[in-house]
Amino acid sequence: MKNHQFYRSFIIALFMLPFLFSGVQAQSTSGFDILRQDTGARQTAMAGTGVASINDIYALFLNPACISLNNSNYAGITFIDQILDIISGSVVFSKPVMSDYVIAAAINFTNYGTLDRADQSGNITGSFTPADYVFSLSAASNKFRRFKYGFAVKGIYSRIDQYNASALAFDAGCIYSIPAQNMSVGFSIQNTGTSIDGFIDEKETLPSNVRAGLTKTLAHLPLQLNLDFYFPFKKTGQENFYWALGGEFTVSDNLFLRWGYSSAGKYEQSELQGGKGAGISFGIGLLLKKYRLDYGWRSKGIAGNINALTLHVTY
């Protein structure tokens, strides 16, 4: 009975969390693009899915509860060649503490390349490099047999030439496992919080959203399927509802083939300029003892393609 009361109270708290910050964000514009970007090669290959995944540490960027069953020390580093000249990456560390809890720390960065600085007459006066950074701390628990939950706090910092912006954000999520069906169901709320400083006068809104989905391993085929749904709190030109489906086929204990499709691709394609493959992704994973190397490719339509590489180590 106590467990049921805890589940109910936790889910109610998750639904209430966004409204605690809705007032401070209502008059802002959508910003902090780094919070919309891929963070790991496996997610890139599987169309950004994994909100209910409990076998990939990088899924913590989708749902902090995903690290709850990580019972070893872990480190991971990712490099992503984004569209245009944009480069991003991340470093993640996690560690189990006590018997029921796992903590993690991560740093994400995005470098937008070198841009020319010009005066009002169009004369080039120099150059600058815009960049975004996210510093996060996460904690998750597997204290309850089927129910896992987690929280994360994130500090976001953006720089454009001499202008800076910063924000504080929170994530919360849960996963419910159904072992008899080889399935888990996940739910998370991301990027609720507030802007601390704006670039000039106007503070930008965090891209707050709800994610929900499931992960299922088929009974007679070594295939794991992820189905995720993304719901933005505020629909804008950048934020729309979409769904995504990803799959991972286990060829052997050391080789994994991955694919995915995101319906967000329809916002990235153009009949006049091509981009029909927008939303499609694929990749591969190689496991050798305590090391795993993942590669992911994802089409962003007319904007270009994403290439991601992640190296994991368990120690």
Q: What is the pTM of this model?
A: 0.84
Residue range 116-137: mean pLDDT, rounded: 85
Can you tell me the distance from the alpha carbon of 7 to that of 135, in angstroms, rounded to the nearest whole number?
A: 29
Angstrom CA distances, 285 to 111, 190, 196, 236, 262, stand at 26, 27, 39, 35, 20
Number of domains in the chain: 1
State the pLDDT confidence band at 162, using cuts at 50, 70 and 90. Answer: confident
Closest residue by Cα to residue 53 from 38, 63, 41: 63
Torsion from C-alpha of 179, 73, 171, 238, nearest 10 degrees = -100
Picking from 22-31, 42-51, 142-151, 232-241, which range would have the lowest pLDDT averaged per residue? 22-31
pLDDT digits (tens, 9 = 90+) for 187-217: 999 999 998 888 777 788 889 999 999 999 9
Q: What is the CATH number of the domain that holds 160?
A: 2.40.160.60
Q: Which domain holds residue 49?
A: 2-314
Picking from 36-45, 185-194, 263-272, 300-309, which range would have the lowest pLDDT averaged per residue? 263-272
State the pLDDT confidence band at 113, using cuts at 50, 70 and 90. Answer: confident
